[in-house]
Amino acid sequence: MDSLTPRKFNTPRLWRLLLGVYWLAMVVGTHVPPRFHAVQEELSDKVIHFFAYAGLAWLLAMAWQMSVGRLNFRHLLWAWMAILVVAIVDEVTQPPFGRDASVWDWLADALGSATGLFVFTLTRHWFDKTELTQTSEE
């Protein structure tokens, strides 16, 4: 008998939790005064911004899709605009914590988040909400 069985890693709650933890780590990481200069010297700050926001965008899209169903271009555009606002708020709230706000950092955030959403469109099929499986009655 064929039936649709949800995969365990496709629960909306799990994806929302992962998104929340990731976002919290980013907020803390971008607001703690810089202490680890070796990390900043080895990796460009813009590269870190790019990949951090790519991950945030990908997780946001996954959490949203797992909660409501397949996202279309308009949904992804709204997600990107929301992330751009988050990135602006992130940048302007850093100076009181001894960090610099930069338009170039924000641009890296914008490009990273757009890339993260693009990668999401290429990988979302790996996490389809249900899969067709064979079950046996015993």
Q: At what angle do helices 45-68 and 73-92 cross, to 10 degrees?
A: 140
Beta bridge partners of 130: 6
Q: Name the amino acid, one letter, at 20.
A: G
State phi, psi for 85 to the nearest 5 degrees: -65, -45
What is the structure's pLDDT at 2? 46
> Is residue 120 a contact partner of residue 61, using CB atoms and an 8 Å limit?
yes
Token duo for residue 121:
């469109």
- The confidence score (pLDDT) of residue 132 equals 32
For residues 93 and 31, the answer to whether their CB atoms sit within 8 Å is yes
Global confidence as pTM: 0.80
Q: Tokens 């999401």 map to which residue? A: 120
| Segments of the chain scoring below 50 in pLDDT | 1-2, 38, 130-138
Spell out the domain ranges in the chain. 11-126
Strand partners, 134: 2
